Structure 1
């Protein structure tokens, strides 16, 4: 069994989270500059067995696609070209940024630490991955 990798893609930064090999626990991995994400993923997959990639699907409250979906579709084309052997699934990511920020408050992070957008992206990817795992069990 391989890991499941979750991606919270953004125009500037991309948050990543990953499961353990048994696909039980979701943990934040890193936040990468979006311009470097394909190179990072190619390198990561060469070192770790990744069974599936889960990418956040941003939607509006009325269930229509978010404006950022255009950029995510371009990223997905590049991802499929770079890693065609790994299946990709999409997961609704509504509210993950708000939930990530609340998670930071609940865990006692100081205001200065909560302003770290890279950490918010990583936590958002973890929430996307947890949502995916919960839907599969």
Structure 2
């Protein structure tokens, strides 16, 4: 089998999580500056077979699209163009940042460590991926 990559898009950086080859376990992979994401993905896909991209879909509490979606759409278009053979699915990402922060607290990270926004993005991507695997 091949892996599933989850992307938590942000204007400054993108958190990335990946499954194992059996698509059972979700693990944080990296946080990459947004400007460098396509080079990172090209290199990763040279090494690993990726079957699916999951991209977080920010929504409001009333289920309408979030304002940040306007930044994600151009990214999705470019992702689909560059990796035309890998499908893209969207996953509701409401509360993932809050859940990621709570995960950091629960795991005993010190306040200084919890201020690491790159780590929050990576954990958020992992939560997006776990929710997809759970509901698959």
Q: TM-score range by the shorter chain?
A: over 0.9
Q: Distance in 1 between matches of 2:131 and 2:6?
A: 10
Q: Distance in 2 between matches of 1:74 and 1:106?
A: 35
Shift of 1:90: 0.4
Which residue is 1:50 aligned to? Answer: 50
Cα deviation code 1:33-91 (max 9, x no counterpart)? 00111111111111100011100000000111111101111100110111000011000
Which residue is 2:125 aligned to? Answer: 125
What RMSD in Å do the two structures reach over aligned CA positions? 0.5
The alignment of Structure 1 onto Structure 2 pairs a total of residues equal to: 136
Matched, 1:108 2:108: yes
For structure 1, list consecutive stretches of 5 or more residues without a partner in the other structure. Answer: none
Which residue is 2:81 aligned to? Answer: 81
Q: Which runs of 4+ in 1 moved over 4 A?
A: none
Which residue is 1:2 aligned to? Answer: 2
For structure 2, list consecutive stretches of 5 or more residues without a partner in the other structure. Answer: none
TM-score (norm 2): 0.99
Which residue is 2:21 aligned to? Answer: 21
